[in-house]
Structure 1
Amino acid sequence: MNKVLLVAGEASGDLHAARVMEEMKELNDNLEFIGIGGQRMAAAGMEVLFDPTSRSTIGFVEAIKHLPLLWGVLKDLEELIERAEPAVALLVDYSAFNLRVAKLTQEKGIPTVNYFAPSAWAWGKWRARKMARREAKIASVFPMEAEVYRQAGAEVNFVGHPLLDIVEPQLNKEEAAAEFEIDLDSEIIGLLPGSREQEIKGLLPPMLATAELIAAQREVQFLLPRAETVSQDLLTELIAESDLEIKVVEGHSYEVMNLAKLILVASGTATLEAACLGTPMIILYQTAFLTWCLAQILVDVPYIGLPNLILEEEIVPEFLQKEIKAESIAQVGLQILNSPTKQAQIKKNLEQVVTELGAGGATKRVAEMVLEVGGVK
């Protein structure tokens, strides 16, 4: 039986890796999966050496506290590789750690595919050069990513973005409204402060303050989809400080985006999910002060939100760090809500973002690529 090594370190990486595993099993039923990942990968049949998904953080400084643990995990992974002798490796996101793993797989002579490669198009083009030197094949999900890695000398296959196959509400608007017990005739605003405790604590309070200012001028209902990684107690505690009625729903983030006339959303994958659904948004981003200072030196992009980065213009508003003030966000939010023309232009631009993400079927293309690179197709 051919062994496949997989390494993913965050909830999103766990999801995408698990989906690739399922596609690989459809293509070859003689595979055994081993490595590092979360519950979804375990459920898909992987023997998990270590689950780092609950320890995911945002920023350089925040990640430092996990380094001693990860060095130990890397050593255990090396022993696993020597014992199992995998035919091929798939590294998903988790950039700093997977750069080390790529060096390890190169030393062991294991063909390697990197999916959601380090964001060298945003900062640190040396990371693209380093991954290229380690002979990892790049399964690229962004057009700007593909170009940077080709320039660095890597072998690149632009597979497109898997969200195109994932983002689909399970309930239509009428069904979702009934499920959430809300009125479709009134405006709905979604609050999506992220899936990490760090994000919730930093972004939900200003989102709630913004919501209060908007509610003072318009009849609005607020929905907040709770990710499974977010504590209900934490949400309850923060929402209690607001005078508004915020309806928290379990999961159903796509339904909330589909219902909402506008969402306030943490920078990250959720902004692309909203783009796929054509939902106007305001993007918020906040991290530790020292991390932000380092980013000013290291990061070489004009925007933080993925839709803006993909089209290379600010098609949706961004508020970063000290700019995150309820009065400013509410003012921009009301301008969008008050202007059908603005809403239509945002939706048109988001359609272009989706076009740039390629065609559906990305996950299957990655699975085919991994099996071909490993010679186990």
Structure 2
Amino acid sequence: MEKIMVVAGEASGDMHAARVIEELKKLNPELEFIGMGGQRMAEAGVELVYDPTKLSTIGFVEAVKHLRLMYRILDKLEQVMKEEEPAVILLVDYSGFNMKVAKVAQRCGIPAVNYFAPSAWVWGQWRAKKMAKRDVTIASVFPMEEEVYRQAGAEVEFVGHPILDIVNPDLDTTEFRRKYNLSSEQTIVGLLPGSRQQEIEQLLEPMLEAAYQLEEDYQGELKFLLPVADTITNSDLEAEIKRHDLDVELITGQSYQVMKVAALVLTASGTATLEAACFKTPLVIIYKTSLITYLLGKLLVKIPYVGLPNVIAEEEIVPELLQGAVTGEKIADQALKILNSNSKQEEIKEQLDEVVERLGAEGAIKRVANLVLATGGISNGTS
């Protein structure tokens, strides 16, 4: 019975990995899975060596806190590779760590596929060259990623972005509107401060300050919805909302429903920006991290934008506010420029539609699963 090792770190990687595992099980029900990940991978049938999802961090300085532990886990994974001899290793996101796993896999003679590979188009081609040197096959989710890795000499297959399999832009929100008493006359603004505790600490307060200013401008005509990620509890949010004297509806999950009904979303930089793009919902992107991390990033980052829609479009089609610009006043100012202009909203929607077209076609998850099987020389049990 063939074994596949899967290595993911953060909650998003855990989710993406679990979806590929489910597809792999459809293609070959006899497969066994071992590796590192979170609850979703465990539920998908992976025998976990370690769950690092609660250690999720953002930035250079923050990651150092767990460096010693990460090396211990890396040693453990190498031991498991030698004992279990998996046919192939699927590396999902978690780039700093998974670049090291790739090196170990090469040393052990095990082929590897990297899904959500290191962002060489952001940090420089050296990352792509390292993965190419380690004989890792890249399952590319972005068009600019495919180009950089191919130039670096890596084996690359453009699979497209799985968000097109996950997000349904034709989502029916009738029941959602009824449940939360959302009328067609209300202007709905979605607040998405992120799924990590660190993001909540950095972004929630200025986001709520912006919401307060918008509320004053619109005199009760706005409705604020905040979908709560499963990694965050309501208590993390309620006290801050109360302090700002705001009427914000906390909604468990259902971020897609919020994006669908919203006229605008204020969101942390990340996957949520692409999800909003799939719904053609105008957005303001905000990003803030520690000062040292930000300064290091400015020295190393090779692209002028942070928000993925802007990166893919290669121009600023939606406003993004970084670091010191992340204030309630500046967020509200950008939000009002969109909310007060129908022509601006339509322009953004058209540009977001073009961004989504560049992400490829549906079926990315199945393409990744087939690539993993082919790389590991494993038969497709359904053929």
- The TM-score normalised by the length of structure 2 is 0.97
Structure 1 residue 181: Cα displacement? 2.9
The question of whether the paired residues in 2 share the 8 Å contact of 1:123 and 1:299 is answered with yes
Return the letter of the residue paired with 2:14. D
Return the letter of the residue paired with 2:44. A
Matched, 1:196 2:196: yes
Equivalent position of 2:353 in the other structure:
351
Give a deviation string over 1:234-253, Cα, whole Å, max 9, x none: 10111111121001000000
The question of whether the paired residues in 2 share the 8 Å contact of 1:180 and 1:249 is answered with no
Quick one: distance in 2 between partners of 1:348 and 1:209? 29
Equivalent position of 1:320 in the other structure:
322
Return the letter of the residue paired with 1:277. F
Residues 169 and 344 of structure 1: CA distance in aligned 2, closer, same or farther (over 3 Å): closer
Matched, 1:45 2:45: yes
The question of whether the paired residues in 1 share the 8 Å contact of 2:169 and 2:278 is answered with no
Quick one: distance in 1 between partners of 2:53 and 2:164? 23
The question of whether the paired residues in 1 share the 8 Å contact of 2:93 and 2:117 is answered with yes
Structure 1 residue 54: Cα displacement? 1.2
Equivalent position of 2:55 in the other structure:
55
The question of whether the paired residues in 2 share the 8 Å contact of 1:34 and 1:46 is answered with yes
Structure 1 residue 169: Cα displacement? 7.1
The question of whether the paired residues in 2 share the 8 Å contact of 1:170 and 1:255 is answered with no
Q: Give the alignment partner of residue 279 of structure 2, picking from 265, 277, 280.
A: 277
Q: Give the alignment partner of residue 361 of structure 1, picking from 335, 360, 363.
A: 363
Give a deviation string over 1:65-124, Cα, whole Å, max 9, x none: 011111110111111111100011100000010001000110111111000000010013
The question of whether the paired residues in 1 share the 8 Å contact of 2:20 and 2:368 is answered with yes
The question of whether the paired residues in 2 share the 8 Å contact of 1:91 and 1:115 is answered with yes
The question of whether the paired residues in 2 share the 8 Å contact of 1:169 and 1:255 is answered with no
Equivalent position of 2:75 in the other structure:
75
Structure 1 residue 173: Cα displacement? 2.7
Computed over aligned residues only, the root mean square deviation of the Cα atoms, in angstroms, reads: 1.1
Return the letter of the residue paired with 1:306. L
Return the letter of the residue paired with 1:375. G
TM alignment of 1:197-276, pairs within 5 A: 197-218=197-218, 219-276=221-278
Which secondary structure does the structure 2 equivalent of 1:367 belong to?
helix
Quick one: distance in 1 between partners of 2:68 and 2:131? 23
Identity among equivalent positions (%) equals: 58
Quick one: distance in 2 between partners of 1:238 and 1:117? 36
Quick one: distance in 1 between partners of 2:115 and 2:211? 37
Equivalent position of 1:133 in the other structure:
133
The question of whether the paired residues in 2 share the 8 Å contact of 1:221 and 1:246 is answered with yes
Give a deviation string over 1:30-89, Cα, whole Å, max 9, x none: 210000011111101100000111111111111110111111101111111111000111
Which secondary structure does the structure 2 equivalent of 1:68 belong to?
helix
Give a deviation string over 1:271-309, Cα, whole Å, max 9, x none: 000001111000000000100010011111100000000
Equivalent position of 2:176 in the other structure:
176
Matched, 1:10 2:34: no
Which secondary structure does the structure 2 equivalent of 1:357 belong to?
coil
Quick one: distance in 1 between partners of 2:241 and 2:216? 17
The question of whether the paired residues in 1 share the 8 Å contact of 2:190 and 2:265 is answered with yes
Give a deviation string over 1:306-337, Cα, whole Å, max 9, x none: 00000100000000000112222212211111
Return the letter of the residue paired with 2:207. M
Which secondary structure does the structure 2 equivalent of 1:217 belong to?
helix
Quick one: distance in 2 between partners of 1:273 and 1:63? 26
Give a deviation string over 1:167-219, Cα, whole Å, max 9, x none: 12796232111122333321000000000111011101001110111111111
Which secondary structure does the structure 2 equivalent of 1:176 belong to?
helix
Quick one: distance in 1 between partners of 2:141 and 2:343? 31
Equivalent position of 1:334 in the other structure:
336
Quick one: distance in 2 between partners of 1:186 and 1:32? 50
Equivalent position of 2:30 in the other structure:
30
The question of whether the paired residues in 1 share the 8 Å contact of 2:140 and 2:157 is answered with yes
Which has the larger displacement, 354-363 or 180-189?
180-189
Return the letter of the residue paired with 2:93. D
- Structure 1, unaligned runs of 5 or more: none
- The TM-score normalised by the length of structure 1 is 0.98
Quick one: distance in 1 between partners of 2:18 and 2:317? 32
Matched, 1:143 2:143: yes
Return the letter of the residue paired with 1:43. E
Matched, 1:310 2:312: yes
Number of residue pairs the alignment of both structures matches? 377
The question of whether the paired residues in 1 share the 8 Å contact of 2:171 and 2:260 is answered with no
Quick one: distance in 2 between partners of 1:100 and 1:332? 41
The question of whether the paired residues in 1 share the 8 Å contact of 2:264 and 2:282 is answered with yes
Equivalent position of 2:109 in the other structure:
109
The question of whether the paired residues in 2 share the 8 Å contact of 1:13 and 1:92 is answered with yes
Quick one: distance in 2 between partners of 1:19 and 1:361? 12
Quick one: distance in 1 between partners of 2:32 and 2:321? 45
Quick one: distance in 2 between partners of 1:69 and 1:168? 39
